[in-house]
């Protein structure tokens, strides 16, 4: 896999991390949204590791 693809995946991963942090900092965080974001983040991490 080329490094630009890995870089794109890492950017998406960082974006999801930011979204999770933003949701957690809200007064009433939506746990289903957080769970969904964490699953997407994990899938991206697994794909990055495979590359």
Tell me the average confidence (pLDDT) per consecutive run of 10 residues in the chain, 51 residues long: 91 98 98 98 96 90
Give the pLDDT score at 22: 98
In the prediction, which pLDDT does 21 show?
A: 98
In which domain, by residue range, is 34 found? 3-50
| pTM as predicted | 0.88
Domains: count for the chain:
1
Nearest CA-CA partner of 17 in 32, 47, 38: 38
Q: Report the pLDDT value the prediction gives residue 45, as an integer from 0 to 100.
A: 97
Give exposure, 27-48, as e/b (b: 16+ Cβ within 10 Å): eeeeeeeeeebeebbeebeeeb
């Amino acid at each position: 896999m080329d490094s630009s693809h890995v870089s794109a995946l890492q950017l998406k991963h960082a974006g999801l991390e930011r979204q999770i942090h933003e949701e957690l900092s809200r007064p009433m965080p939506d746990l289903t949204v957080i769970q969904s974001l964490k699953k997407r983040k994990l899938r991206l991490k697994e794909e990055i590791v495979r590359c």
